[in-house]
């Protein structure tokens, strides 16, 4: 299944890189989501490759700056840089909307001012910077992946417990226990590797489908500049979805 949502800020895609992600069925936690990667003929034409940084995403998808301009990577010069296509409408900011509301009610109480502030936040309009397309495999694939990962986590937990018991056996000089727990460590580690290989095989299959979908979108979709597609690598069942690549469309339309 492919779900598509509009986005307004680059850090929506890049901010999750530093945060943790957790599978709530298995309890497995990773240090952070992998950074996005530039992908597609459009990215190649603009000289974009490798990992996607927040500054570059902001310059391209919020400020519409041409990556080929020498000012692209100098935020202090963004106002003078060349842009790609239409740079969006100049909507009023939240502060401006709030100021207009206060001008109409100069005698507003503190409570009313707080209410006007909240209303301004809801009323402000923003340009759509990108479209977030998240690919989710069918539930049977999700269940299979989760089952493999659960077994892998269980085996790694058992190996860690056996290593602790082995260390204690060494400390007390119990040779029989040393032999027993040494075997338990090897067995648990072997099982963890095997379950991990099964899990990785499912992930590789999902990623192959994502890649093909991204290639088709980048090569065939007639999208305007400054629209991104973020493809989720991981199955449903994650508390945080993972954006693996940012797809820049193959064709551009200059306003």
Higher pLDDT, residue 22 or 13: 13
Query: How many domains, the chain?
Result: 2
For residue 255, is it within any domain?
A: no
pLDDT-derived band of residue 166, with 50, 70 and 90 as boundaries?
A: very high
Tens-digit pLDDT profile for residues 60-89: 888 888 999 999 999 999 999 998 877 777
Query: Which string of DSSP letters, residue by residue, matches 109-165?
Result: -HHHHHHHHHHHHHH------EEEEEE---HHHHHHHHHHHHHHHHHHHHHHHHHHH
Tens-digit pLDDT profile for residues 178-208: 999 999 999 999 999 999 999 999 888 877 7
- Secondary structure of residue 221 in the 3-state scheme: coil
Contact 12, 229 (CB under 8 A): no
Instruction: Note whether 27 and 112 are same-domain residues.
Output: no
Rounded CA separation 15/52 (Å): 11
Query: Per DSSP, which regions of the chain are E strands?
Result: 2-7, 21-22, 29-30, 38-39, 130-135, 229-232, 243-247
Instruction: Note whether 62 and 96 are same-domain residues.
Output: no
Instruction: Note whether 64 and 96 are same-domain residues.
Output: no
Beta-bridge mates of residue 246: 38, 230
Higher pLDDT, residue 254 or 24: 24
Tens-digit pLDDT profile for residues 85-125: 777 778 888 899 999 999 999 899 999 999 999 999 888 88
pTM above 0.75, yes or no: no
For residue 115, is it within any domain?
A: yes
Instruction: Note whether 119 and 200 are same-domain residues.
Output: no
Instruction: Note whether 143 and 186 are same-domain residues.
Output: yes
Instruction: Note whether 80 and 119 are same-domain residues.
Output: no
Q: Which of 102, 125, 148 is the last residue of a domain?
A: 125
Instruction: Note whether 118 and 196 are same-domain residues.
Output: no
Higher pLDDT, residue 230 or 31: 31
Instruction: Note whether 104 and 155 are same-domain residues.
Output: no
- Secondary structure of residue 148 in the 3-state scheme: helix
Print the domain residue range for 110.
92-125
Please choose, from the candidates 19, 11, 22, the residue with its C-alpha nearest in 3D space to the C-alpha of residue 52. Answer: 11
For residue 50, is it within any domain?
A: yes
Residues 6+ apart with CB under 8 A from 133: 2, 3, 4, 217, 229, 230, 231
pLDDT of residue 58: 85
48-52, 68-72, 229-233 — which one is most confidently predicted on average?
Answer: 68-72
Least confident range of 32-36, 56-60, 106-110, 225-229: 225-229
For residue 254, is it within any domain?
A: no
For residue 131, is it within any domain?
A: yes
For residue 20, is it within any domain?
A: yes
Mean pLDDT of 133-161: 87
For residue 162, is it within any domain?
A: yes
Q: Which of 101, 125, 149 is the last residue of a domain?
A: 125
Could you identify the residue written with the tokens 């994650």?
A: 238
């Amino acid at each position: 299944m492919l779900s598509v949502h509009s986005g307004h800020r680059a850090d929506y895609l890049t901010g999750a890189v530093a945060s943790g992600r957790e599978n709530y069925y298995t309890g497995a936690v990773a240090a952070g989501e992998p950074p996005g990667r530039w992908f597609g003929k459009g990215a190649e034409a603009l000289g974009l490759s490798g990992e996607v940084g927040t500054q570059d995403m902001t310059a391209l998808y919020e400020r519409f700056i041409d990556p080929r301009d020498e000012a692209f990577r100098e935020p202090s010069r963004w106002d003078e840089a060349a842009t790609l296509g239409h740079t969006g409408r100049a909507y009023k900011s939240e502060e401006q909307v709030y100021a207009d509301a206060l001008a109409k009610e100069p005698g507003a109480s503190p409570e009313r001012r707080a209410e006007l502030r909240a209303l301004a936040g809801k009323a402000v309009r923003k340009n759509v910077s990108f479209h977030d397309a998240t690919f989710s495999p069918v539930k049977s694939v999700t269940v299979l992946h989760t089952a493999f990962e659960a077994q892998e986590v269980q085996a790694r937990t058992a190996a860690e417990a056996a290593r602790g018991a082995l260390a204690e056996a060494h400390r007390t000089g119990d040779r029989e226990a040393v032999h027993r727990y040494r075997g338990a460590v090897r067995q648990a580690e072997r099982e963890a590797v095997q379950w991990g290989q099964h899990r990785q095989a499912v992930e590789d299959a999902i990623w192959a489908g994502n890649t093909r979908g991204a290639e088709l979108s980048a090569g065939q979709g007639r999208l305007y500049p400054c629209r991104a597609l973020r493809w989720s690598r991981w199955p449903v069942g994650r508390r945080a979805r993972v954006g693996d690549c940012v797809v820049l469309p193959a064709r551009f339309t200059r306003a």
